[in-house]
Structure 1
Amino acid sequence: MPLSRTSHGRAHEAGRAPSPGAPAPPRAPARSGALPLAGAVAGGAALALESVVNGRLGEHTGAVAAAAWSNTLSLGVASVAAFFLAGLRPAFAALLLALRSRGLRPWHCLGGLAGGGMVLTQALTAAALGPAAFTLALVAGQTLSGVVMDHLGLGPGTPRRATRRRLSGGLLAVCAVAIPVLAAPDAGRTLALAVLPFLAGCALSWQMAVNGRVDEAAGHHPYPAVLLSFATGTALMVTAVVVLTVSSELPRPRSGPLWHYAGGLLGCVVVLAAVLTVRRIGVLAAGLGMISGQVLGSLALGPLLGEPPAHQGAVAAAAVLLIGAAVLAAPSRARAPRLGGRGD
């Protein structure tokens, strides 16, 4: 049936045809960002624990071997779970169609490279920095990169401009970083070790953005983005292991508890949480929510790992981060364009 005839029939059934001068129907109320923000915080807490696990594993297996094991385990778990999921084949078919029509670029499917770099950074620096310091080192990179990702529209949906509200949330995150760093007695050493986590935080926001685009192209089925992330990350780590084996020699792993090998399981939770939340509240807000979860998780993990209790500066940083994330996740009240004028 032709589209015009269908539209005419529906308008006739409604009792009147739409008039050009009639006011637009009321918009549906904006969905609250509280639930996806909570999911992002939970994913961040899992990321804090993953950093500890991979850092401990890197101490007795080597950073590259630890990262390769973590990514391989994540890929294996995600692949097995895929057999029990419905709608995965149509999702991949939609993804291939988007790639062929150039609605999605091939580099959008390479977010796992950033994830692999994140796992490698965890194994290299997390044990030396500690859970709280490693977490705070990610804040600046994720915040600055998240603002850029949203403003340029690299994530799913329409671009989210750097409005006053979003800039205020980002400023709160920067303040949250400054509080514990300035209070630390060894701030210089912490900043030197934090270069890699800072770059990993920038890459993590980019990964969240491109994984969100893959999720959107696959019909909002999160698993193609998850599988592609772990596949590309594992390929990167396996290549690094081969290069390290040829150029030198892999360190001989020492014995350690079994929970040191569980980082790949936590990685599945982190990536899935990122894919599901970025589609609702954007790259920056989801990233700050995950950072807040990381800070809260690191504060809880410190005493459990035998470290001294967190000082008041770190607790204040966690509170400021949560406020900043809540400001960014709040739904915007978009104004309707005025007749005869330009839209915002």
Structure 2
Amino acid sequence: MPSSRTPRSRLHHAEPATSPGPPAAAALPPGRSGALPLAGSVAGGAALALESVVNGRLGEHTGSVSAAAWSNTLSLCVAAAAALFLTGLRPAFAALSAALRSRALRPWHCLGGLAGGSMVLTQALTAAALGPAPYTLALVSGQTLCGVAVDHLGLGPGAPRRATRRRLAGGLLAVCAVAFPVLAAPDADHTVALAVLPFLAGCALSWQMAVNGRVDEAAGKHPYPAVLFSFATGTALMAAALVVLASLSELPAPRSGPLWHYTGGLLGCVVVLSAVLTVRRIGVLAAGLGMISGQVLGSLALGPLLGEPPAHQGTVAVGALLLIGAAVLAAPAGDRPRPGPFTPPVAEHPFDGRGK
């Protein structure tokens, strides 16, 4: 009898240690800070600032809808070609399919590209007229305000991140950083009137970052499905817009332009990939504020190249410094997401550990 009790006792004590469950697997390793993903989101924001300039210039000589359609189509082609060089795609798509079947992930989570397509359209419509700095400020206003709500409601991956006093302070500081250069501009009324579309696009961008993060998590933290779906739905939206525009009026005949005007789609790939990879670590608000800092710093660097007056550059520089401080407040090193109600379905799927 003693020999039969010993194995039962060992099994009884070993079970909790070997069954942590999916929420524990989703936790971040101890000792890892958010500095690296925050830097990645800043780099993605700088790419977004350059993308807005590129797509704005392209829209001037091809038409805004045509420019947006080209940019999204190029991004989709790059994402599709990347599948030839990536591994782990089959398990990732199988995990995503299982999450959709179990309703842990809803179909609308896969439609983040609709927001991305609308943002590219606003770039082509307003970026050239507003200039890089005012366009960026309008975009990040909506991005910041919606980022707090998106995180608080838990629309992104993991558990909801409460709107703590520190996060609220970061969001309020970001709003002040955006308001300062806008109110200091000599043509503030004209800038505000044109800025409505990029403001709404910034709200959509926060939502896109959240739902793409959910798709990334459901796919076993493989970023490819989220990136591919993002560009596929954005391209479909722009194709539909082109059809509607062609039925209502004649499409503008494209004029020749420099080759770099056609590279917006490549920059779009960098932006979406950086957002998917950073949201999983630091949340929508912190990743959004890091991207905001990169956008403003990028527009600050692009301003002199595009002929913006030095006085305006000075106010944007102050705003950039305030935004970096806001990002630090919203993403402190010890603030890590805790496991929440959304459980990544990877560990429960039949393919897990087999890849077939």
TM-score normalised by L of structure 2: 0.86
Residue 185 (1) aligns with residue 189 (2): no
Residue matched to 1:206: 207
Indicate if the aligned counterparts of 2:37 and 2:282 stay in contact, CA closer than 8 A.
yes
Change (3 A) 1:28 1:35: closer
Change (3 A) 1:30 1:166: farther
Residue matched to 1:110: 111
Residue matched to 1:341: none
Separation of aligned partners in 1, 2:143 and 2:335: 25
Separation of aligned partners in 2, 1:10 and 1:83: 47
Residue 79 (1) aligns with residue 80 (2): yes
| Cα offset, 1:138, TM superposition | 1.3
Separation of aligned partners in 2, 1:182 and 1:118: 24
Within 5 Å, which residues of 2 pair with 1:12-51?
Answer: 29=30, 31-51=32-52
The one-letter code sitting in structure 2 at the alignment partner of 1:117 is S
Indicate if the aligned counterparts of 1:116 and 1:237 stay in contact, CA closer than 8 A.
yes
Indicate if the aligned counterparts of 1:138 and 1:197 stay in contact, CA closer than 8 A.
yes
Residue matched to 2:98: 97
Residue 140 (1) aligns with residue 141 (2): yes
The one-letter code sitting in structure 1 at the alignment partner of 2:293 is S
The 3-state SS of whatever aligns with 2:242 is helix
Change (3 A) 1:231 1:135: same
Change (3 A) 1:12 1:228: closer
Residue matched to 1:324: 326
The 3-state SS of whatever aligns with 2:53 is helix
Indicate if the aligned counterparts of 1:30 and 1:331 stay in contact, CA closer than 8 A.
no
| Cα offset, 1:28, TM superposition | 6.3
Separation of aligned partners in 2, 1:180 and 1:164: 25
Indicate if the aligned counterparts of 1:179 and 1:317 stay in contact, CA closer than 8 A.
yes
| Cα offset, 1:182, TM superposition | 1.4
| Cα offset, 1:13, TM superposition | 11
User: Unaligned regions of 5+ residues in structure 1, if any?
Assistant: 17-26, 337-344
Residue matched to 2:279: 278
Separation of aligned partners in 2, 1:258 and 1:84: 26
Residue matched to 1:157: 158
Change (3 A) 1:186 1:247: same
Indicate if the aligned counterparts of 2:75 and 2:265 stay in contact, CA closer than 8 A.
yes
TM-score normalised by L of structure 1: 0.89
Separation of aligned partners in 2, 1:133 and 1:333: 32
- CA-atom RMSD in angstroms: 2.1
The one-letter code sitting in structure 2 at the alignment partner of 1:138 is L
Separation of aligned partners in 2, 1:117 and 1:43: 18
